[in-house]
Copies of this chain bind each other. A is one copy, B any other.
Amino acid sequence: MLAGVGSTFGTTFRLATWGESHGAGIGVVVDGCPPRLALDEADLQRDLDRRRPGQSRLTTQRGEADRAEILSGVFEGRTTGAPIAVLVRNDDARSSAYDHLRDLYRPSHADFTYDAKYGHRDWRGGGRSSARETIGRVAAGAIARRLLAEVAGIEVLAWVSRVHEVGSTVDVATVSLDDVEAHPTRCPDPVAAEAMAEAIEDARRDGDSLGGIVTCVARGVPAGLGAPVFDRLEADLAKGMLSLPAAKGFDVGSGFDAVSMTGLAHNDAFVPGPDGPRTATNRSGGVQGGISTGDDVAFRVAFKPTATIASAQDTVTVDNEATTLEAKGRHDPCVLPRAVPMVEAMALVVLADHWLRQRAVDVLPD
């Protein structure tokens, strides 16, 4: 992973996002997408529609269509190898709704830290720290999705596995996109999904908010992707996931549960497989030593409850004086349903990057 000054992610397949919540628009430049990939705006829109606000009663009512325009890098329906620039104009930017945020710091938002770092911030709707920034990631993820499907047969699927106290039962091996999309919570366990939806509605009614967990699986990942040492597949995934707004934790395979197991119980025994060794279990989460085993890559991301809540909260002004924040504006009482395409996007980008990087390794015969 190569970054530098903060808004770039990836090495060989790389994205650079830009834009603020209430500026002219949001965008991304994807550099490194191989040429000759069939791609059009509809490919991007499918994932953007899963991310956009106003999809269901569970999400914020900000009414953005989030229409993506591809400005470069695609010619006659196929990529050219040149950077792909994507622009989404901000339509529904009622920045006056945020006037009261000019002079105070919202708790557990980035208002104060941006001021501490930069000394000048776009306070309208969170500016650069708004989750609208993830539009660029989701667009880039959609390109990676096309690429991985086409050249590698890799697919990535995420879902909401927990909201607050409501867990779920999902068969990681068989769950499908249709299962996930069947309910606005994006939890593929229908009973749990209903309970989650209720909990979210309750929280909204109480002027409160809820967190939860997104689980993600990548299927069809061949053995050998990733890198030793710093650019381990799980390390790059961890960075990608912790770079998402509201993310507080990441674990892969057995993850934090590994702590309660012993080595004998935890180790994944190898067994002879038809195409080479495979593991009888997958507590490794599809990675050993930073490199994929050929099994499903599986990980979880913990998200905190939305920081924006309708209830009044104590806080301070930019002049360090105590005040009270009465939230206005529209917001999600639970970010989980919309976090699903974001998690997928970052996973897709990491996998596309490592898939392309592997090409420089497979050079000399065995």
B127 touches A82 (CB 8 A): yes
Closest to A105 in B: B270
A125 within 8 A of B: no
Write out the residue numbers on chain B whose beta carbons fall within 8 Å of the beta carbon of A80. Answer: 20, 118, 120-122, 127-128
A220 within 8 A of B: no
A195 within 8 A of B: no
- Picked from B5, B206, B303, the residue with its CB within 8 Å of the CB of A32 is B5
A56 within 8 A of B: no
The interface size of chain A toward B, counting residues with CB under 8 Å, comes to 168
Oligomer copy total: 4
Write out the residue numbers on chain B whose beta carbons fall within 8 Å of the beta carbon of A251. Answer: 248-251, 256, 302
Scoring A12, A27, A112, A213 by chain B CB atoms within 10 A of each residue's CB, the highest score goes to A112
Mark contacts of A101-142 with chain B using CB atoms, 8 A cut-off: 1 yes-contact digit, 0 otherwise: 000010111101110111111100001110001000000000
Mark contacts of A264-281 with chain B using CB atoms, 8 A cut-off: 1 yes-contact digit, 0 otherwise: 111111111100110110
Stretch in A47-55, A171-179, A312-320 touching the partner: A312-320
Closest to A19 in B: B72
A357 within 8 A of B: yes
Q: Restricting to A196-243, which residues have a CB under 8 Å from any CB of B?
A: 203, 206-213, 222-232, 234-243
B366 touches A82 (CB 8 A): no
Mark contacts of A62-80 with chain B using CB atoms, 8 A cut-off: 1 yes-contact digit, 0 otherwise: 0000000111110100111
Write out the residue numbers on chain B whose beta carbons fall within 8 Å of the beta carbon of A330. Answer: none
B288 touches A71 (CB 8 A): no
A340 within 8 A of B: no
B133 touches A229 (CB 8 A): yes
Closest to A122 in B: B75
A45 within 8 A of B: no
A107 touches B32 (CB 8 A): no
Closest to A279 in B: B107
B256 touches A302 (CB 8 A): yes
* Smallest CB separation, A94 vs chain B (Å): 17
A269 touches B113 (CB 8 A): no
- Picked from B72, B107, B210, the residue with its CB within 8 Å of the CB of A268 is B107
A87 within 8 A of B: yes
B360 touches A356 (CB 8 A): yes
